[in-house]
Amino acid sequence: MKKGISVFLFRMGLASLFLVLTVFTLSIVVIAQELQVAVHLQGAEVVPYWDPSDGASGEIGLMNNLYEALLRYDAATNTFTPILATSYEQSEDAKTWTFKLREGVKFHTGNVMNAHAVKASIDRTIERGRGSSYIWSPVDSIEVIDDYTIRFHLRQPAPLDLVVAAGYCAYIFDPAYCDHDWFIAGNDSGTGPYTVESSEGSEKVITKKFDDYWGGWEGKHFDRVVFLSVSEASTRRLMLETGQADFCEQLPPTDIEALQDNLAVRVEVNPSFQNLMVLYNNQRTPLDNALVRRAMSYLIPYEDTVAVGLGGYGYVSRGVIPYGLWGYSDRVETFTYSPTVAKALLTQAGYPDGGFKFLLTYPAGYEDIRKTVELWRAACAELNITLDTRAMPTAERNAIARSPDPAKRQDIYLLYWWPDYANPDSFLSGMFYTQERPAYNLGYYSNPVFDALIDYAITLPTGSQEAIDMMVELQNILQRDAAGIAVWDMQYLRAMNTSLQGYVDNAAYPNVVFWYDCYRE
């Protein structure tokens, strides 16, 4: 019966709202008679990347329940929680890090997690060189000391404790089950509390508890977690209001305001390290001209995008490092909305009458981005610049952005960015360091001076004054080049069933609910 209901849930369509909600409710009620089931809603696809070595997008919520890293970082307290590592120590020069591993941990495959598996997982991620794998760039070699001790030798000092606690590409998996095609077929080989029961594409995944999870299952926990992509915000809101969902990652501000007085729903406004990034194609005429890129940046109505796109729940960006993360500074140069300045820059660049048409791609399913794009498009039209704006799924957008033929790539690429690990380097190296095979440098920016300063910056003590000053200088280089810019830094608007207990928002793991810690009261 359980398997049949799970498949039924995954084959539901959303064409008829009334039918969907009715059937969904009845199915959950039937399951809940035997099991505790949580429903996690998101507006975009649940799992753009199944391979744990490749991740860098919206799959973070699912994957951090299937897989685990050595440590977990608490952004609110600046502390670490032992996960697959029980303790660690670093050398005085921060170039050698030794981790003692937790014993008795099993992968979902039944095999035992040990130091050899940790080394193999990280080596594979480094070798594939995809997604957020750049976080391992300081690592020179990994040494297995014994079955439960592993040592990292770094090329230069780096905050490896933050790296091994990253929300992406720090996952440990069973090296005996790590074939890429096997992963993308909807399989997992992690150590997390939940494992995949069934899936349908990238839109719907049902997970079940892993009986042999090292943390045990005493106390209150959910037996199943359903991760469901529902593109319509109104549908997500209705599912929360009627008790058919437990958690929604993000709703438009108007829906959040409407839910404030609903006793069945709890609303939280939480800090984030997330911003909206604009990456210009630095290799295509006329955007290969910094004057044109700067002109485009002066055509974004920043204050309006925060008011309309975010409903006031956020801040105009100041540089690419977001508000709240160290490295953010009012010393960073910034753009303001000024068609007059934009017109002057275009004239200086030799394009007084505009006349451009730019292909702009952005992720489907996000109202805040859509509204921001509409405001920008209208402002550009006033100077005879056309934005061909297209909302697209991640895989489709990235096929264009990473095309081996530069002529087939987009002109402007918009994306949410949050830290792969809680360090400003995630916002600098990830999108702007020179990359032969661009993972997320999808503006194709290449600046040897910038690269050299990044290499130096990561050797500085985390959060030191010298490191902060370097973060300011690096951002100012990007601002002067207009290589790519941030538009706004958002706050998280969380909506959840009032019966949901145990949830704690963590800005270092955006949109992640660590479901093992949660239960229904």
Q: Dig out the tokens for 279 from the structure.
A: 């990456």
132-161 pLDDT, tens digit each: 898 999 999 999 999 999 999 999 898 999
Over residues 364-385, mean pLDDT: 95
Over residues 205-217, mean pLDDT: 98
CB 487 within 8 A of CB 372: yes
Measured CA to CA, the distance from residue 40 to residue 38 in angstroms comes to 7
Over residues 59-70, mean pLDDT: 97
- The helix/strand/coil state of 105 is coil
Measured CA to CA, the distance from residue 210 to residue 392 in angstroms comes to 34
CB 55 within 8 A of CB 169: yes
User: Is residue 268 pLDDT above 80, yes or no?
Assistant: yes
With b for 16 or more beta-carbon neighbours within 10 A and e for fewer, the 234-250 pattern comes to: ebbbbbbbebbbbbbbb
pLDDT band at 330 (very low <50, low <70, confident <90, very high): very high
Domains along the chain with CATH numbers: 2-64+180-270+493-520 (3.40.190.10), 66-164 (3.90.76.10), 275-490 (3.10.105.10)
Give me the pLDDT at residue 12, please: 40
Q: Dig out the tokens for 7 from the structure.
A: 């498949």
Q: Dig out the tokens for 515 from the structure.
A: 């479901």
CB 135 within 8 A of CB 421: yes
Over residues 165-191, mean pLDDT: 97
Residue 270 is inside which H or E element, if any?
Answer: strand 265-270
pLDDT band at 292 (very low <50, low <70, confident <90, very high): very high
489-517 pLDDT, tens digit each: 999 999 999 999 999 999 999 999 999 99
Give me the pLDDT at residue 89, please: 97
Which amino acid appears at position 144 of this protein?
A: V
Over residues 228-242, mean pLDDT: 93
CB 251 within 8 A of CB 493: yes
- The helix/strand/coil state of 129 is coil
User: Is residue 245 pLDDT above 80, yes or no?
Assistant: yes
455-491 pLDDT, tens digit each: 899 888 888 999 999 999 999 999 999 999 999 999 9
H helix count then E strand count, the chain? 16, 21
- The helix/strand/coil state of 252 is coil
Over residues 450-454, mean pLDDT: 95
Q: Between the CA of residue 63 and those of 144, 184, 393, 437, 473, what are the distances in Å?
A: 26, 13, 19, 24, 35
Q: Which residue has the tokens 């193999």?
A: 120
User: Is residue 17 pLDDT above 50, yes or no?
Assistant: no
Measured CA to CA, the distance from residue 352 to residue 338 in angstroms comes to 15
Half-sphere exposure in the Cβ direction for 107 (13 Å, CA)? 20
pLDDT band at 15 (very low <50, low <70, confident <90, very high): very low
Q: Among 507, 493, 18, 57, which residue's Cα sits nearest to residue 251?
A: 493
CB 276 within 8 A of CB 420: no
Give me the pLDDT at residue 300, please: 98
pLDDT band at 110 (very low <50, low <70, confident <90, very high): very high
Give me the pLDDT at residue 104, please: 97
Half-sphere exposure in the Cβ direction for 174 (13 Å, CA)? 19
37-58 pLDDT, tens digit each: 999 999 889 999 999 999 888 8
CB 248 within 8 A of CB 255: no
Give me the pLDDT at residue 161, please: 96
